[in-house]
Structures are given as C-alpha cells and as structure tokens.
C-alpha cells in the first residue's frame, strides 16, 4: 500500500495505475465475474462476487439481475447513494422547465433494482 501511495504522490493516479497494470496487477471482466480463473505467473485466484464488496461501505439492500444467460449479477446499494441521486432531480426538472407539469415514473415492478430505487426516491 505504501508503494501505491508513493507512486500516486510522485507520478499521479494514471501513471501509477499503468505501472501496476504493467506489473500484472489487474483483473479482467471475466475474472471479476467469476467466469475465469485469474492466472498471474504460477499463481491462480478464483473470485466470487462478494470478494469485491467494500467492507467500509454499509449495505442497505441488494438486488440481482435476472440473469438470462447466467446466475445474474448482484449489486449492493446504500441509502446514501439513493439520497445523492435525489439531489439532482429538482435541478434537472427546472433546467428543462418540466417542474410544473405532471409526470409519471415508469419502472419495473419490485423486486427489480429500478423498482426499489424508484420507490425509495419517490
């Protein structure tokens, strides 16, 4: 971790990320989704979705995609994320002169991710 902090302070984020990539520190989409074992030299790593959960971010609700070709993808949301999105609703309506007009909000039914978010945002 100290090497990464030093690299960022000396060379910046992009250069540090490029140096890590060149040293084999990366994960492909297939590895991230658990569809392929990550091979780095003689080392092998097999990941699960929960391996990438942020332990410092509280989870309030989780949703899963329908997964027509797989088991689906799990996504975790918290109420802070939902609140942050709400801050932009009124300015968006005002910018397009739409605040004075009635409108509907069409989303899939529960338990879809959009349905849950829509119900929470109101």
Same domain, yes or no: 68 and 47:
no
Same-domain pairing of 116 and 73: yes
70 and 33 share one domain: no
Burial of 17 (0-12, 13-18, 19+ CB in 10 A): middle
Nearest 5°: phi and psi at 81? Answer: -60, -45
Q: CA-based Rg of the chain, rounded to a whole angstrom? A: 20
Same domain, yes or no: 65 and 5: no
Q: Could you tell me if 41 and 59 lie in one domain?
A: no
> Is residue 119 located within the same domain as residue 77?
yes
Structural domain range at position 58? 53-122
Q: What is the total count of domains within the chain?
A: 2
- Per-residue confidence at 26, pLDDT binned at 50, 70, 90? very high
Which helix (H) or strand (E) is 59 found in, with range? none
Per-residue model confidence as pLDDT tens digits over 56-100: 877 677 777 766 676 677 777 778 877 887 888 889 889 999 988
Q: Specify whether the CB–CB gap between 50 and 42 falls below 8 A.
A: no
Residues 60 and 29 in one domain: no
Is there a single domain that holds both residue 101 and residue 43?
no
Q: What is the mean pLDDT of residues 36-40?
A: 93
pTM higher than 0.85: no
């Amino acid at each position: 971790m100290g090497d990464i902090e030093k690299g960022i302070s000396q060379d910046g984020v992009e250069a540090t990320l490029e140096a890590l990539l060149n040293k084999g520190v990366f994960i492909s989409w297939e590895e991230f989704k658990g569809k392929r074992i990550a091979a780095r030299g003689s080392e092998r790593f097999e990941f699960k979705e929960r391996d990438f959960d942020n332990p410092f971010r509280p989870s309030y609700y989780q949703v899963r995609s329908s997964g027509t070709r797989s088991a689906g993808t799990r996504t975790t949301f918290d109420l802070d994320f939902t609140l942050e999105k709400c801050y932009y609703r009124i300015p968006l309506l005002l910018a397009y002169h739409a605040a004075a007009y009635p409108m509907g909000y069409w989303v899939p039914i529960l338990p879809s991710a959009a349905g849950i978010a829509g119900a929470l945002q109101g």
